[in-house]
């Protein structure tokens, strides 16, 4: 289990969204949730796996890989 690292998933989601040039309003509509709920997601270091799967599909990025230490 040495290859698992701690990740603040909310920060990772926000960074990927910014990298893709998408807005929080866009993601909130897609999930769907309110913008306030999305900002709460950003502040969390962990979230429900079903929600993380949905966000991963929407952003076409496997956030689960963030937890695997490479190398």
| Domain 9-67 superfamily per CATH | lambda repressor-like DNA-binding domains (1.10.260.40)
- Quick one: pLDDT at residue 3? 84
CA distance 33 to 43: 15
Question: 28 Cβ partners below 8 Å, 6+ apart?
Answer: 34, 35, 37, 38
- Quick one: pLDDT at residue 37? 97
Provide the residue ranges of all domains of the chain, joining segments of one domain with +. Answer: 9-67
- Quick one: pLDDT at residue 5? 87
- Quick one: pLDDT at residue 1? 61
Q: Is residue 32 a contact partner of residue 22, using CB atoms and an 8 Å limit?
A: no
Residues of the chain with pLDDT under 70: 1, 71
pTM above 0.95, yes or no: no
CA distances from 49 to 9, 24, 56, 60, 62 (A): 11, 20, 10, 16, 12
């Amino acid at each position: 289990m040495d290859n698992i690292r701690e990740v603040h998933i909310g920060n990772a989601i926000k960074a990927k969204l910014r990298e893709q040039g998408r807005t929080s309003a866009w993601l909130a509509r897609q999930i769907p949730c309110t913008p306030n709920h999305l900002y709460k997601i950003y502040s969390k270091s962990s979230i429900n796996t079903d929600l993380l799967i949905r966000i991963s599909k929407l952003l076409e990025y496997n956030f689960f890989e963030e937890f695997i230490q490479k190398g």
